[in-house]
C-alpha cells in the first residue's frame, strides 16, 4: 500500500502556507503601533508606505508587491491580499497580535503560496521582520 504524505507547509485546503510567530515583552497596543508605523513598516513594506490600513486600502511597494487590506480588527488582526510583482495570483497574509500575560505574540500566517520555494522565501521574509522587531526593542 502506498500513502502520499503532504510535505511540510502544504495543506489540502489552502495550498502552501507558513506560520511564524514570536513573543515580545511589550503590550498589544505597542505591538500594533510598531508593526504599522515607521520605521518598522519599512522592514516589511517600504519606507514610503503611508496608509491607514483600513478595509479596501491598496498599496504597491517600490519593489512591486501589492497589498489590499481585506479586513481589520484594529489592535488584533489584519488580513490582506499579497501579490508579488508580475504574478496574477494573490496569497493571503494574516497578521495577529495575541496578548500573552504581560507580553504579546506577533504572528504572521501566509497562505495560498505557490510552492515550497515561495513558502521558504516568505518564512525568511517574516522571520527577518521578527528579527527586526527584536533589534528595535533591543532584546
Is 6 within the bounds of a domain?
Answer: no
Is 31 within the bounds of a domain?
Answer: yes
- pTM, two decimal places: 0.91
Asked if residue 12 lies in contact with residue 119, where contact means CB atoms within 8 angstroms, the answer is: no
Residue 11 has a pLDDT of 72
Q: Provide the domain count of the chain.
A: 1
CATH number at residue 91: 3.30.530.20
Is 11 within the bounds of a domain?
Answer: no
Name the residue range of residue 127's domain. 16-137
Residue 139 has a pLDDT of 82
* Alpha carbons 49 and 80: distance in angstroms, whole number: 15
Is 2 within the bounds of a domain?
Answer: no
Please report how many Cα atoms fall inside a 13 Å half-sphere around the Cα of residue 3, on the Cβ side.
3
**Residue corresponding to grid cell 496569497:** 91
Q: Which three cell numbers stand for residue 101?
A: 500575560
Residue 56 has a pLDDT of 97
| 5 contact partners, CB below 8 Å, separation of at least 6 | none
Mean pLDDT of successive 10-residue segments in the chain (139 residues)? 64 83 98 96 91 95 96 98 95 97 97 95 97 94
Amino acid at each position: 500500500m502506498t500513502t502520499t504524505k503532504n510535505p511540510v507547509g502544504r495543506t489540502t485546503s489552502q495550498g502552501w502556507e507558513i506560520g511564524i510567530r514570536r513573543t515580545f515583552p511589550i503590550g498589544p497596543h505597542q505591538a500594533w503601533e510598531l508593526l504599522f508605523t515607521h520605521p518598522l513598516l519599512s522592514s516589511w513594506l517600504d519606507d514610503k508606505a503611508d496608509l491607514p490600513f483600513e478595509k479596501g486600502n491598496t498599496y504597491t511597494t517600490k519593489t512591486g508587491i501589492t497589498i489590499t487590506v481585506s479586513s481589520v480588527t484594529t489592535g488584533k488582526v489584519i488580513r490582506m491580499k499579497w501579490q508579488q510583482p508580475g504574478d496574477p495570483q494573490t496569497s493571503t497574509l494574516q497578521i495577529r497580535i495575541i496578548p500573552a500575560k504581560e507580553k504579546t505574540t506577533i504572528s504572521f500566517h501566509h497562505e495560498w503560496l505557490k510552492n515550497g520555494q515561495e513558502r521558504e522565501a516568505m518564512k525568511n521574509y517574516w522571520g527577518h521582520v521578527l528579527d527586526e522587531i527584536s533589534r528595535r526593542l533591543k532584546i
